[in-house]
Amino acid sequence: MRPVRIIAAVMFAILTLLTAPAWAAPAAPTLRVSPGSVAAGDSVTLSGSVGRESAGSECATGVRLLSRAFDSNQEFADVPAVPVAVRPDGTFTATTTIPRSRAAGTYPITGRCGGANFGGATLVVRAPASPTTTPTPLSPAGTAPPVTQPRVPAPTVAGPPTQPATQLASRWIIPGLAGLGSGSLAVLGVWLLYRRRHPASPTAAMTTRGEC
């Protein structure tokens, strides 16, 4: 009968381990960070457990995760702290963003509750990625398009008004012809008046004919 009892005891122990409640917390406190290396400005996930012995103590209400890599909205002993609620099984999970201004380096992470520290993890912070700029597309020839300057009209210089040649000709020729005609008529009138007052005598006329 003893072998049967031994086998039954072993089977009972195995079944007890297999059917243990899923909420059973690990025996020792744990703390993890994922991913373990990020660029400043990215987020990380913090997870772990306060341990089986601390699950029923004041650590069961909440913990603080301390690291100089975190944001300084809340602090504990001058160290930035992230408050995290603890589940009934003693586990916890939180997500936080590393400030973009945080210097590159290796930062330790510590959990604290019940007046004591627990667990430990390490986070590597890299320099933030520089923003990329899209280059301006060039022209098909591979050169920048030429810059066209606005055309400025040449200054005009005011001068004396000019008149067409035909207007000048009509202005001077017509009065000249009129003056010439008037002069000719005046000469003809004077000559006729002279002939009228000084008619040719018959003697002069006969002398003129005899000489001929």
Q: Are 50 and 29 in contact (CB under 8 A)?
A: yes
Looking at residue 52, which CATH number applies to its domain?
2.60.40.1930
- Boundary of a domain, candidates 126, 154, 186: 126
Does residue 199 form part of some domain? yes
Q: Supply 156's token pair.
A: 């005009």
Counting as low any pLDDT under 70, the low residues of the chain are 1-26, 52-56, 131-150, 152-172, 174-175, 199-212
Does residue 131 form part of some domain? no
Structural domain for 185, as ranges:
168-211
Distance CA 51, CA 90 (A): 6
**Closest to 66 (Cα-Cα) out of 85, 54, 84:** 84
CA atoms within 13 A on the CB side of 164: 3
Distance CA 193, CA 186 (A): 11
The predicted structure's pLDDT at residue 21: 45
Distance CA 204, CA 88 (A): 170
CA-only gyration radius of the chain, Å: 62
If asked whether residues 100 and 173 sit together in one domain, one would say no
The predicted structure's pLDDT at residue 121: 95
User: φ, ψ for residue 196 (rounded to 5)?
Assistant: -70, -40
If asked whether residues 35 and 108 sit together in one domain, one would say yes
161: helix, coil or strand? Answer: coil
The predicted structure's pLDDT at residue 22: 43
- Boundary of a domain, candidates 57, 92, 126: 126
- Kindly report, residue by residue over 126-181, the tens digit of the pLDDT: 999 876 656 666 555 555 556 666 676 666 655 555 555 556 556 667 667 777 77
If asked whether residues 111 and 185 sit together in one domain, one would say no
